[in-house]
Amino acid sequence: MVIEKNKVVKLHYKLQEGSSEGNLIEETHGKEPLVFLYGVGQMIPEFERQLAGKEEGDTFAFGIESGEAYGEYDPQAIVTIPKNSFVVDGELATDLLQVGKIIPMRDHDGNQLLGTVKEVGEEEVLMDFNHPMAGVDLYFTGNIEEIREATASELEHGHVHGPGGHHH
């Protein structure tokens, strides 16, 4: 069986910055494999494109430039927010205002964004709304462990059920 739309793919991978010599970002070997429903938009499109047509037992090695992964780093996504925006029930939420903390927030249109606290000043908080991997070229190596037909329920829900997948 080959990887194509609506197949469940189970694989192990190693993710590094830029190349096979780059810093290790993440690895599944020795842990649970990645299991996903191919072709339904769960993964980076270029990641899926690189896996298309592969079979069980195949290995892979490929790079994805940052623009095709999590996007380029955008300096305009670093914004200053008044500290009083972090007042909850009349008190400043100091537990949220820790450098490095990722906080779910909403923009003026109600869209949810994740922002990372960069600095906490007297009156303002510097937040970075770039994805943590923005501007990073990715390099994947790994192997395809299993490919199977998705069940009707998985296709209906748009994700894998059971081991390695979603549990309802």
List, for residues 23-79, the tens digit of each pLDDT value.
999 999 999 999 999 999 999 999 999 999 999 999 999 999 999 999 999 999 999
Q: Quote the pLDDT of residue 166.
A: 56
Average pLDDT of the residues in 109-118: 92
Task: Using alpha carbons, list the distances in angstroms from residue 144 to 20, 98, 107.
Answer: 18, 40, 39
* One-letter identity of residue 161: H
| Location of each CATH 3.10.50.40 domain in the chain | 7-70+134-157
Label residue 108 exposed, middle or buried (CB < 10 Å: 0-12, 13-18, 19+). Answer: exposed
| Location of each CATH 2.40.10.330 domain in the chain | 75-128
Q: How confident is the model at residue 162 (pLDDT cuts 50, 70, 90)?
A: confident
Topology of domain 7-70+134-157 in CATH is Chitinase A; domain 3 (3.10.50)
Pick one of 2.40.10.330, 1.10.1660.10, 3.40.50.1000, 3.40.50.700 as the CATH number of 75-128.
2.40.10.330
Q: Quote the pLDDT of residue 164.
A: 60
Average pLDDT of the residues in 134-139: 97
Higher pLDDT, 163 or 21: 21
Average pLDDT of the residues in 113-119: 95
pTM score: 0.82
Considering only CA atoms, which of 156, 152, 101, 168 is closest in space to residue 128? 101
How many whole angstroms separate alpha carbon 117 and alpha carbon 132? 12
